[in-house]
Chains A and B, each alone.
Chain A
Amino acid sequence: MNYIFHLLIYFEIYVIVAMSLNLLIGYSGLLQVAHAAYYGIGAYTAALLMLKSGFSFLPALAGAAIAAGVMSLLVSLPTWRFRGDYFVMISLAVQVTIYAIMYNWTDLTNGPYGLAGIPKPALLNSIYATQESIFLFYGSIVVLLAGILAVLKQSPFGRSLQAMRDDELAARSVGLPVRLLKIESFLIASAMVGVAGGMYTAYVSYIDPTSFTLDESILMLSMVIVGGTGNVRGPIIGAAVLIAIPEILRFLALPDAIAANMRLLVYGLLLILMMHLRPQGLAGKYRFE
């Protein structure tokens, strides 16, 4: 039973990750491959605030959101003009740079040895130590963030993102402030994935830079592309599918060395199949090009 709850908690964390990335890709039309870096910033911020500054879980989560949000501003303010391939290249550079900082700033992050002994999630004085209680607690955070995204999607802000994604020039010609919209959507998506990073760090109690690599960013991107973009249910389905695949492979009793490669092979095949057979994803509304 613990195994099932363990998977469900991972699923909850990745639902937030995929929903936040969907805000960028599906709603705003901005493809980025640095989401794991912002996730990592959230994770390290929450861990350091809890370990070194004595913050409790929720303030640490808020700190994680702020840190990831501030980093997104540092990136998006000077780069908002870049689009398409150029934007992807910049996000790739951000991913590699932030990973290198996490790996090499050993005084702060403890480098490759990581940070251990991170406190479990807690609300006020009650610490959620069991899998079931963490699942329920994290579930309420997922519902809250999904609700926020749903309200934003229905608002003029959401409609403006959609207009910007469809045709940036036309959006400018009707008076939409596309520069501000890009910066805001980046800020919200990064803050949200920062929260997911904080939730991850409190759940596993140990983090090191290998959880926030480019591979992880590509996994997150795969969740959104496989599930589908432009609505709330697509990323949820994508997260479920991509979390389920390695678990199914686990039951095939393959040797460890082969299993890891097999997982990548299946991800790759899945992406190729999706692009050919269903480019809008399993449950997507918008076909990302």
Chain B
Amino acid sequence: MEILANTIERQTSYSDLTDNMDNSRIIARAECVHLAFEGHCILDDVSFDLLNGKAVFLRGDNGSGKTTLLNTVSGFLRPDKGQIHLNLNGRSFDAVRTQPERLARAGLGRLWQDIRLFPTMTVLENVLAASTGLIGLNPALALAAWPVSRHQERRAREKALANLELVGMADRAKSSGDKLSVGQMKRVAIARMLQSEAELMLLDEPLAGLDRDSVDGLVSLLNRLNQEQGKTLLIVEHQHEQMAPICHETWYLEDGRLFKG
């Protein structure tokens, strides 16, 4: 195995990087990321380039830092050292200094290990919640420009239903978010990412807790999103046999250090 850190030209300036991102379609770049909790090193000098449109399978033992890496890339954790740059839908971001909600609006989707649907909302509302570009999100405009807001809402609803159709959940649109099976919840969570136009999807154990049929269905869905829609996937998973065939690369995290398989 080869340490990814060695493959990065560390002296690359940020402007060079963004040019490079446009040309070689790097969607995420981590440089020497280091993170420790209470003196215990979780991420140790982690560096990588993630190319746009690729599906990457991230493996590692429990506690090796996989979820922490996803949290760091998505802006929920700030590393002690190092840089993470994202190029989402043509815009560049310093993920270390950008709020996670802003990264999400720019095109970073997140599937949580515990899924995190909104339990008191219907499936359709869960997906609609990711429509963050609507003017009705501003209460003053929701009142003052009510007809425009309603029109936008109708279009967002159509898009949400189309996304639910894509993940095979359109027939459950009116069901409550907490009345679904684990597999169905994960499909809704993926539809939620699609609603927010996520270009880079970080998926934390998407196959956990699923039966064989559900695993096959979800793997097939992720493959379609990658192959047909060009979504970039960074997938943390333990089920190697199911996930490896649809991924372009496999990365390993061991004691906080990242290796390429």
Report A's interface with B, CB cutoff 8 A. 148, 151-152, 155-157, 159-160, 162-163, 165-167, 169-178, 184, 188, 230, 285-286
Contact = CB atoms under 8 A, between A and B. Distances in A.
Given A155-B149, A156-B131, A173 B139 contact: no
A28 to B, nearest CB: 12
A66 B146 CA distance: 23
A163 B119 CA distance: 9
Contacts of A176: 101, 129, 132
A183 B117 CA distance: 24
A151 B129 contact: no
B143 A160 contact: no
B101 A151 contact: no
B53 to A, nearest CB: 22
A170 B117 contact: yes
Contact of B100 (A152, A155, A160, A173): A173
A166 B112 contact: no
A155 B130 CA distance: 13
User: Max chain A CB contacts within 10 Å: which of B101, B105, B112?
Assistant: B101
Given A151-B142, A156-B156, A178-B101, 9 more contacts: A148-B143, A159-B128, A163-B129, A166-B121, A170-B112, A172-B76, A173-B100, A173-B101, A177-B132
A156 B142 contact: yes
Contacts of A166: 118-121
B137 interface: yes
Contacts of B149: 155-156
A174 B143 contact: no
A178 B101 CA distance: 8
Of A148, A159, A230, A286, chain B has the most CB atoms within 10 Å of the CB of A159
Listed residue (A151, A152, A157) with the most chain B CB atoms within 10 angstroms of its CB: A157
Contacts of B146: 151
A130 B131 CA distance: 49
Contacts of A170: 112, 116-118
A160 B121 contact: no
20 contacts: A148-B143, A151-B142, A152-B143, A155-B137, A156-B131, A156-B134, A157-B137, A159-B121, A159-B125, A160-B137, A162-B120, A163-B129, A167-B119, A169-B76, A170-B112, A172-B101, A173-B100, A174-B192, A176-B129, A285-B120
A188 B134 CA distance: 20
Nearest to B135: A156
B160 to A, nearest CB: 11
Contacts of B117: 170
Q: How large is the interface on B (under 10, 10 to 19, 20 to 34, 35 or more residues)?
A: 35 or more
A156 B116 contact: no
B101 A163 contact: no
B196 interface: yes
Interface of B: 74, 76, 99-102, 104-105, 110, 112, 116-121, 125, 128-132, 134, 136-139, 142-143, 146, 149, 153, 156, 192-193, 196
Contacts of A178: 101
B196 A174 contact: yes
A171 B104 CA distance: 10
A173 B132 contact: no
Which 5 A-B residue pairings sit nearest by Cβ, starting from the closest? A175-B104, A155-B142, A170-B116, A175-B105, A156-B136
A162 B134 contact: no
Contacts of B132: 174-177
A163 B120 CA distance: 8
A160 B129 contact: yes
Nearest to B132: A175
A230 B142 CA distance: 19
A286 B120 contact: yes
A157 B138 contact: yes
Given A184-B139, A188-B139, A175 B196 contact: yes
Contacts of B99: 172
A171 B74 contact: no
Contact of A172 (B100, B121, B137, B143): B100
B124 to A, nearest CB: 10
A162 B176 CA distance: 14
A162 to B, nearest CB: 6
Given A172-B100, A173-B100, A162 B118 contact: yes
Contact of A167 (B104, B110, B118, B131): B118
Nearest to B138: A157
B129 A159 contact: yes
Nearest to A285: B120
A173 B76 CA distance: 9
Nearest to B202: A173
